[in-house]
């Protein structure tokens, strides 16, 4: 009985290794894509151009780096860009109105 139990454990270990090893090997080519956020966003956009969230992420990343031209291009290229543009325009307009009220109130 002990020999049979030992055999089952060893067989399960080998079976698990056979199943997991190909997954580990298949992830090696993806390491260059996952190197940083920029490469991940760009690769995802090249595969799936309708992935709007990737354009937003890329735009935010460029904005954090201070590259506002590239950030704007990323925001404008993505699907639903008109919605983002209108939302930001309304937000900027509201902020400007609030600032005017604040300035008028303090004078």
- 65 with 82, same domain: the answer is yes
Number of domains in the chain: 2
Q: What is the mean pLDDT of residues 72-91?
A: 72
Report residue 33's pLDDT band, with 50, 70 and 90 as the boundaries: low
Q: Give pLDDT, residue 51.
A: 84
- 6 with 50, same domain: the answer is no
44 has a pLDDT exceeding 60: yes
Identify the domain containing residue 43 by its residue range.
Answer: 33-106
Q: What residues have CB less than 8 Å from 50, skipping those under 6 apart?
A: 79
Tell whether pTM > 0.75.
Answer: no
- 24 with 5, same domain: the answer is yes
32 has a pLDDT exceeding 70: no
Q: Token digits for 102? A: 């604040």
C-alpha 85/C-alpha 72 separation (Å) is 10
38 has a pLDDT exceeding 60: yes
Q: How many residues does the chain have?
A: 107
C-alpha 44/C-alpha 74 separation (Å) is 13
In three-state secondary structure terms, 14 is helix
């Amino acid at each position: 009985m002990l020999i049979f139990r030992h055999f089952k454990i060893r067989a399960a270990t080998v079976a698990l290794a056979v199943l997991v090893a190909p997954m580990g090997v298949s992830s090696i080519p993806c390491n260059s894509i996952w190197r940083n956020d920029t490469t991940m966003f760009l690769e995802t956009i090249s595969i799936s151009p309708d992935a709007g969230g990737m354009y937003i992420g890329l735009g935010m990343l460029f904005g954090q780096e201070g590259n506002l031209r590239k950030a704007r291009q990323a925001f404008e290229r993505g699907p639903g860009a008109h919605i983002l543009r209108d939302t930001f325009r309304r937000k900027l307009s509201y902020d400007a109105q609030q600032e005017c009220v604040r300035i008028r109130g303090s004078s």
